[in-house]
Structures are given as structure tokens and as C-alpha cells.
Structure 1
Amino acid sequence: MANTSHPAVDRVVEALELQGLSPEIVWFDDAVTTARLAADALGVEVGQIANSLVFALDGEPILVLTSGAHRVDTGWLGAQLGGVLGRASKDAVKEATGQVIGGVAPVGHPGPLRTLVDVDLDRYDQIWAAAGHAKTVFPTTFAELVRITGGTPHAVVPPSEAGAETPE
């Protein structure tokens, strides 16, 4: 595995350190831009990967940290949140997070970002999140992810689909 540095990763490390954490950033030789690629590279279940996805809720950016085991049901979740939820453009993602799609971390953003944390991630003792670059991840826990993001635990798929793995 490669060992290098990147400004977005440095911002993530700084944000984690401000939360009292000493993160172990894992650098891969190649980009791991999907939950399956990250899980395979780490030797863990795909559900242990916390995908950081930026959506637009009635035009406002919202970060959804979802288990890699399923896809966010935007129609269902939007209705739960009382609005219309859709994918944010790559430019909106970069503006909201300071990071690019494929490496968006749960922290290290230029400003506060409303965050939901998929309750399905609570099934795992350890989960992995991107660290600001497509070649990086760091280990965490559900409780720690909620704490460091100030996020709200929330289902992101209907209860009948929770815990069910979706093929990529």
C-alpha cells in the first residue's frame, strides 16, 4: 500500500484530530471508488464501508453516510425528510465538501454540512470511511461517526431493505 499525502487528506486528519482522534489513514496503490473495491482491498464485508454521498434536499446539500451494502432510496428518504432528494452534481459535491466524488470523507469540509448516518452501519464493530482521496480510508465506529460528524442516525432505505446487500 502506498504512503503519501494530499491536501484534502490533511484536512480530514486535522478534523479528526480536533475530535480527539489519532486516525490511521490507510493509503492504497489504486483508487477504491466503490464500496466493493474498498471492502475487497481491506478484506472486510461491503456493509462495513461507510459511503459518503452528497445529495441535494430541496436544493440544499446533505451528506448521507450509508452502508456499502445497499443504495440510498432517494424517493423514500426524501419523503422521510419532507422534501425531494436527488444526487448532487460533482461541482456541488466539491463545493460542499472540498473533496471530489470517490474520496469524500465524513469530515474535513469547508463548513458545516447536514449529515445523516445510516443506522445499518451500527451492525458492525468497525467501519471504514474515505479519508478525502479515492486512495484513502480510515477505520471508525458507528458511534464515533455520529459523534465526529454531528450527524443524525437515520435509516436510508425502507426497513424491509435494511441489512440486505445490493449488488454493485
Structure 2
Amino acid sequence: MTEHPADHPRVAAVKEALRAAGADPASIAGMILLPDAVTTAAAAAAALDVEVGQIANSLVFDADGEPLLVLTSGRHRVHTGRVAALIGARTVGRADRDLVKAATGQVIGGVAPVGHPAPLRTLVDVALDDYDRVWAAGGVARSVFPTTFAELVTVTGGAAAQVGE
């Protein structure tokens, strides 16, 4: 029997957060559970048969001791110096797994843009706007959903920014 993505509590929390934030019902209904975990943008793109740039990586950073969520296109890496300057932080570095779990309630590889215990300060990579459809994680490493750049900005309350190298 195939597991339905809504059966997982973290996926259900993401779907509810999307609903509450006014996401397009098609984004919520489009949540799928892939056969295998996709913990990299390349793996997700291959599983979905899309360009790697269409993958919206949800990356948590430690910005002066506070969590910062950066949704970035899979086609490049986050430039932490640029991000620090954008948000006025002294230092920005990748968060450890404990900070990721505490801030999001999710594990690395499955972090969704929403569905966290509390809202996170969020930057959304403007490179995602190059695509009509992008794919974001749904709370677990096998779950993804279709969305748009504009919707990601709206549902996260994030700021559009150039974050990549």
C-alpha cells in the first residue's frame, strides 16, 4: 500500500500552514510523496523530471544566533556574506541539525517553507522567479509540492532577495 503524504504529521502541518496562509489549493492538492528521499536539489529535480533551478531548497542558517530560512534555487549556492549584508547580521552560517529541528520541527532534507512551530525570518531567492513552477519540500524528505515564487513570498511572509552566488 502506498503511503499518502497527508498521513505524515509534518506533511499535514505543512498543508495546514499553506491553507492558513492562503496558498493556491492546487499547490496543496499537488503535494506528492516520492518513492525515495530526495535530500538534494539534483535528486529532487531528477525525481520530478524538472530543471534543478526549479527546486526551492529550504535552508536554515544561523544568523547571529537566530534561525534564518533561505529558500534558494537549486541551481546555485547561498552567498552567506551577501545574506548577512541583506539582513544586517554580523555572521551567517549553516545551522546545525539541532537548530534546524528546533526552529522548523522538521529534519534537514525535508524542511518545508512553512509549517514550523513559529514563523521564521525568511528570504526567497529571486532566481526562483525565472520559473513558472517550482517545487518545495513538504515537511519530510520524500514529500514535495508545486508552487510559484510569488506564492512562496506570500505564504512565508518572506522578502524577495538575490541570495545566490
TM-score, structure 1 as length reference: 0.90
1:77 and 2:83 are equivalent in the alignment: yes
Structure 1: gaps of 5 or more residues = 162-168
From 128, 134, 139, the counterpart of 2:141: 134
Would you tell me which structure has more helix in proportion to its own residues? 2
Matches within 5 A, 1:84-163: 84-157=91-164, 161=165
From 9, 19, 26, the counterpart of 2:11: 9
Partner-residue secondary structure (3-state), 2:60: strand
> How many residues of Structure 1 are paired with residues of Structure 2 in the alignment?
157
Structure 2: gaps of 5 or more residues = none
2:83 is aligned with what amino acid? L
TM-score, structure 2 as length reference: 0.91
> What is the Cα-based RMSD across aligned positions, in Å?
1.1
1:3 is aligned with what amino acid? E
Question: How many Å apart are 1:75 and its aligned residue?
Answer: 2.2
From 50, 62, 71, the counterpart of 1:56: 62
Q: Which residue in 2 is equivalent to 1:33? A: 39
1:49 is aligned with what amino acid? I
Question: How many Å apart are 1:29 and its aligned residue?
Answer: 1.1
Question: Percentage identity across aligned positions?
Answer: 64
Q: Which residue in 1 is equivalent to 2:52? A: 46
1:145 is aligned with what amino acid? L
Partner-residue secondary structure (3-state), 2:127: helix
- Distance (Å, rounded) in 2 between the aligned partners of 1:43 and 1:72: 23
1:13 is aligned with what amino acid? K
